[in-house]
Structure 1
Amino acid sequence: MGCVRGVSGGAIPAAFAVAVLATALASTPAEARRRAHGGGGGYNPPYAAMVVDVKSGRVLHAVNEDALRHPASITKVMTLYLLFEQIERGKMSLDTPLEISANASRQAPSKLGLRPGSTITAEEAIKALVTKSANDVACAIGENIAGSEAAFAEMMTRKAHALGMSRTHYANASGLPDSDQITTARDLTILAQAIQDRFPRYYRFFQTRSFAFRGRVIGNHNNLLGRVEGVDGIKTGYTRDSGFNLMTSARTADRHIVAIVLGGKSGASRDAIMAKLVQSNLPRAYAGSRTTPAVVEVAERARPAVVAERPVATRTMVASADDDDAVATTASTGQPLELMPSRQSASTTTPGAARWRSGPQGGAVPGAAQAYAPAQAPAAFPAPPPGAKYASRLPASEPGEMRAPSPARTEAPAASVKAVSVTPWVIQLGAMDDEAKAKSMLAEARSRGGSSLSKAAPFTEKVSHGGTTLYRARFSGFAESESAQEACRALKRSGFTCFATRS
């Protein structure tokens, strides 16, 4: 057996260290709040995990690695990726002041509690996300970079797909509860490597143990820092639907792994699982020179380039988006999102509402509707089980045997164009900046939608707004709202985002 090194530096047996760690954390305030909010007994979030050898690219451990899950505050790793990118490009610096909007100040805990109109430097913002996992600061980062948090979430999604995170979709910058905020353990191992490969200078922030901010000292939520030998970051997360999540990087002088645990039943059990994964897999990692290339951005997948409309709606979010802050409730009202980012904030919409949407109603070019006969496209990933929506509905499972990686996603080819009769109700999947992308998305959806789309006709609709041309990806063939809604629910179970609307 290997050993885990305590804070004092003394080596202790690994099994004993894990037990001590679990016991020490079992009665934390977060655990008490979790039990008070129904976390005990039947609380059973869906589990997934993956460990990757960074130097060789070999998968050392994998359980449900391609199953859809909610990232919770691990979301903030992508938020920081985009902030680091702004700093690297010279568009910002560590001293750049970030303004706190009224929208940002209203975010649910965990938060710093900053007032509207106040500012925080980019460096303070980085440390606030790494330690406190502050949702108000995450929202402010998105608004200062993209003009609104919704526009920033689109940037996050595009960046994820460019990195190869093909099953990830972001709806906000913080990880607060949203049914459209989804990812997989495999995708998160890509992000864990990418942020280190791309920004080695700024990755050091994830090792921050505490953060002194305006008279307060804020500790890091990552309890493995300084407790498990080799761990050098990077991010925790928790929501009710996600369970307790942890992204970890661990290294010795000659070995390096990244590991993901999603759906822990408690902070203590999650930390114990991760400690065991690190202790058992780090010695197995390749000790020679790195044989795999750094994670770099590739051509973006066929995904919507712009979000241009949202229905006005309200929803209640149950926080926290991290381990050690109170569960709170807040309301948020969605607002229309402009094609070009503005300084105004955009909130979230009702759970399950489409995140990939097109231009304003009435913006269609007359006679622009087109349809095509889609080619059959294989499902690149196993579909969620019947009745599942997103990660919060998927069945739970426990750590098990390692499985081979799933094949990479392949884009479905577009086919010939033909006329289509548009019915009173249609389903929209997204609005793309290229018609071929819209057709590819429709072809893949048709191949995976099953009987719900057997009588549906795919078509694209060209819309123009503010000098930008988009192509709506839609299905016709629905006389009533209920049939369109049912088909959309079937598509969501297969991992697509959609909404039903009148034509």
Structure 2
Amino acid sequence: MLQPARRLMVSIGLAATMALSPLAGTAQAQTPGFRNILAATQTKYAAIVVDAKTGEVLYAKHADDPRYPASITKIMTLYLTFEALSSGKLKTTDRVVFSPRAAAASPSKLGVRPGESISVSEAMQALAIKSANDAAVAMAEKIGGSEARFAAMMTLRAQELGMQNTHFANPHGLPDSRQLTTARDIAILSRAVMRDYPQYYHLFNQRSFTFRGQTMTNHNRLLGRMPGVDGLKTGFTNASGFNLAVSAVRDNRRLIGVVMGGPTTAQRDQNAEDLLLTGFDVMSRRARGEQITVAQSLFEPEPTGPIQRTGIEQGDAEQDGVKIVLAHAPIPAPVAARAAARPARGEDWAVQVGAFKKQSDARAQIALVKQRFSKWVSGGAADTDRAGGVYKARIQNLSEGDARGACKAIKAKKMACMVVKG
């Protein structure tokens, strides 16, 4: 096994070499974490590394392929809990009663009996640290009235946040074939938690908590092992493999890494650590003027059988330093006709490029899109109307051709876009 420092230098050297070579995809670089994965296990693997501040994707592998989230689901359960606290619908001292359904949930669990209750504060710690399934059901029933209704709320919020390939069927992540997500969507959710509810993020960094005399420890083993790691959540089922959403800070830079489908806890953690270490080094070297990226094939072994070589997943065109932003997807609802007057030229089309809780975020996304896709939208007018509790980022007064051309180009860069008529 390579020492951490040597492993990092090997990884970075290979990443730089592959980034500069048009034949990058032919390299067979592998890090120790996933050296011996069987072909059957490889079908579960997916990973992504994202700059938490800008949303730039530093590395992606099968990032948009459907995966089972397992207990990473509870990040969304907590997101809706934070939302209820911030809106005043809940207080941390409110009681969460355990129904017979909640108490009957499979482990991991607190073991609270039917009819008993815990505080909202205790429930949040149980979700973030213990990953308690009974607490997840009880909280879902507290907020949504029923587990099924809460799952529908989770799916709707996921769509609003831009998690375009996610569907929730329960609040805990226990096996359900309908419960699907992607590595990219989990990265979007992780960013949303930090951005929208920073006052509660510390829960994901809590190493343990004591409940009724029993101390329960966090399942995230990178906490305290890798400097800078302060969250987020692990997950495992037989169908999902070993999952991890993790975030770390180094030199005032924060990265989010998501690894799904690991064959063991140790290999998952090692892979996530390797990805983050390399990501931090890439960011540091970019700050010094180097144009490098993390190579696609660096962290996973070659699959068995013939494969199509594609080089660096994010595309060689991204070597110019322009950032790829994980934009939020629009709310999936019918768009009402606008009453505002349109230019005489009949340019009554628009593109919607996100939906944000803050108007400033919507404006920033519009500015980014107008800069990167000026060929189609330079003459469009910015619009950040508020609807459904979010600000819709739109560029309007476009021709139909420009609107459709813009969305095609925007989606090609893995950014959200929707064409809107009038």
TM-score (normalised: structure 1): 0.52
2:273 to 266, 272, 275: 275
Distance 1:44 1:110 in 2: 27
* 1:348-393 superposed Cα distances (whole Å, 9 cap, x missing partner): xxxxxxxxxxxxxxxxxxxxxxxxxxxxx99x99xxxxxxxxxxxx
Task: Report how many aligned residue pairs link the two structures.
Answer: 290
Task: Report SS of the residue matched to 1:115.
Answer: coil
Distance 1:251 1:245 in 2: 20
Which residue in 1 is equivalent to 2:77?
A: 79
Which residue in 1 is equivalent to 2:373?
A: none
1:301 to 289, 311, 332: 332
Distance 1:405 1:118 in 2: 50
**Contact preservation (8 Å) 1:14, 1:279:** no
Shift of 1:230: 1.4
Distance 2:262 2:179 in 1: 18
- Where does 1:419-458 land on structure 2 (aligned, <5 Å)? none
Which residue in 2 is equivalent to 1:98?
A: 96
CA separation of 1:98 and 1:279: change in aligned 2, threshold 3 A: same
- Which amino acid is 2:63 matched to? E
Residue identity (%): 44
Larger helix fraction of residues: 2
Shift of 1:58: 1.8
Task: Report SS of the residue matched to 1:155.
Answer: helix
Distance 1:111 1:295 in 2: 34
Distance 1:105 1:237 in 2: 20
CA separation of 1:300 and 1:272: change in aligned 2, threshold 3 A: same
Distance 1:57 1:294 in 2: 5
Shift of 1:84: 0.5
**Contact preservation (8 Å) 2:329, 2:416:** no
Which residue in 2 is equivalent to 1:217?
A: 215
CA separation of 1:40 and 1:57: change in aligned 2, threshold 3 A: closer
- Consecutive unaligned residues of structure 1, counting only runs of 5 or more, are 5-11, 23-38, 304-376, 382-403, 414-503
Which residue in 1 is equivalent to 2:127?
A: 129
**Contact preservation (8 Å) 2:325, 2:415:** no
Shift of 1:285: 2.9
* Stretches of 4+ aligned residues off by more than 6 angstroms: 291-298
- Say whether 1:139 aligns with 2:170: no
- Which amino acid is 2:104 matched to? R
**Contact preservation (8 Å) 2:324, 2:413:** no
Shift of 1:57: 2.5
Distance 2:420 2:178 in 1: 23
CA separation of 1:192 and 1:284: change in aligned 2, threshold 3 A: same
Task: Report SS of the residue matched to 2:190.
Answer: helix
Task: Report SS of the residue matched to 1:169.
Answer: coil
- Say whether 1:206 aligns with 2:204: yes
Task: Report SS of the residue matched to 2:269.
Answer: helix
- Which amino acid is 2:108 matched to? S
**Contact preservation (8 Å) 1:250, 1:282:** no
CA separation of 1:204 and 1:174: change in aligned 2, threshold 3 A: same
RMSD after superposition: 3.5
Distance 1:150 1:219 in 2: 29
Distance 1:125 1:86 in 2: 14
2:232 to 231, 234, 238: 234
Which residue in 1 is equivalent to 2:258?
A: 260
- Where does 1:281-430 land on structure 2 (aligned, <5 Å)? 281-285=279-283, 299-302=330-333, 405-406=413-414, 408=416, 410=418
Shift of 1:254: 1.6
Shift of 1:43: 5.3
Distance 1:187 1:174 in 2: 17
**Contact preservation (8 Å) 1:108, 1:135:** yes
**Contact preservation (8 Å) 2:162, 2:416:** no
* 1:8-43 superposed Cα distances (whole Å, 9 cap, x missing partner): xxxx76569x9xx98xxxxxxxxxxxxxxxx99965
CA separation of 1:173 and 1:88: change in aligned 2, threshold 3 A: same
Task: Report SS of the residue matched to 1:202.
Answer: helix
**Contact preservation (8 Å) 1:194, 1:295:** no
**Contact preservation (8 Å) 1:47, 1:264:** yes
CA separation of 1:295 and 1:215: change in aligned 2, threshold 3 A: farther
**Contact preservation (8 Å) 1:193, 1:295:** no
Shift of 1:406: 3.5
Which residue in 2 is equivalent to 1:154?
A: 152
2:56 to 42, 55, 58: 58
- Which amino acid is 1:269 matched to? Q
Shift of 1:196: 0.4
Distance 1:274 1:192 in 2: 15
Task: Report SS of the residue matched to 2:255.
Answer: strand
CA separation of 1:298 and 1:281: change in aligned 2, threshold 3 A: closer
Distance 1:107 1:281 in 2: 38
**Contact preservation (8 Å) 1:55, 1:292:** no
- Say whether 1:68 aligns with 2:99: no
Task: Report SS of the residue matched to 2:90.
Answer: coil
CA separation of 1:96 and 1:292: change in aligned 2, threshold 3 A: farther
CA separation of 1:248 and 1:166: change in aligned 2, threshold 3 A: same
* 1:281-314 superposed Cα distances (whole Å, 9 cap, x missing partner): 12323798xx9999897641249xxxxxxxxxxx
Distance 2:229 2:413 in 1: 25
